Amino acid sequence: MPARGKPTPVPTPETRPYFDAAARGELKIQRCLDCGRPFFYPRPCCPFCASAALEWITASGRATLYSYTINHRPAPGFEQDAPYAIAVVQLEEGPRMMANIVGIDNTPDNLVLDMDLQVTFEQRGDVTIPQFTPAGTEAAR
């Protein structure tokens, strides 16, 4: 049986600006025009005040490691990456998002909570996926 590739998200009308920006090497998140709070994941209304008055802003790409788990039993398509970190990162702008940590060995010694991270991007089929790497590494550039 041939190995499967990594799953590729299918952009929706709500996520299309996010994935289009990622293809250009930009990390975009939404911000509410009424309450002013930024948020992630993309959606049609603010999770804080329910306003539909939203805008897309370019995030700095800087984050810190909030939490993670190291997966030793990979999902289909991720066999060559195991072990790999599934992380929650805290963006400099405030929202948290799930992402993989790349560019280092994913061990507890290397994955220090609150470590500085920088966005990087992986092309997966027709979609570009934001991921994070320790700030200051070659992969972060």
Starting at the edge strand found earlier in the chain, the sheet holding 38-39 runs 38-39, 28-32, 54-58
Among residues 52, 20, 21, 12, the alpha carbon closest in space to that of 35 is found at 52
**Torsion sign (Cα): 94, 139, 122, 57:** positive
The pLDDT score that the predictor gives to residue 76 is 82
Check pLDDT > 60 for residue 141: no
Q: List, for residues 106-131, the tens digit of each pLDDT value.
A: 999 999 999 999 999 999 889 999 99
Q: Where are the domains of the chain?
A: 16-140
Instruction: Answer for the pair 27, 62: CB distance below 8 angstroms, yes or no.
Output: no
pLDDT tens by residue, 45-94? 999 999 999 999 999 999 999 999 999 888 888 878 888 899 999 999 99
21 in Cβ contact with 119 (< 8 Å): no
pLDDT band at 139 (very low <50, low <70, confident <90, very high): low
pLDDT in tens, 11-54: 999 999 999 999 999 999 999 999 999 999 999 999 999 999 99
- What tokens were used for 60? 């700095």
Burial class (CB in 10 A: 0-12, 13-18, 19+), 63: buried
* Backbone phi, psi, residue 133, to 5°: -135, 155
Let me know if 15 is exposed, middle or buried by CB neighbors in 10 A (0-12, 13-18, 19+).
middle
Query: Is pLDDT above 60 for 3?
Result: no
Residue whose entry in the numeric block shows the structure tokens 């998140």? 29
The pLDDT value given to residue 138: 58
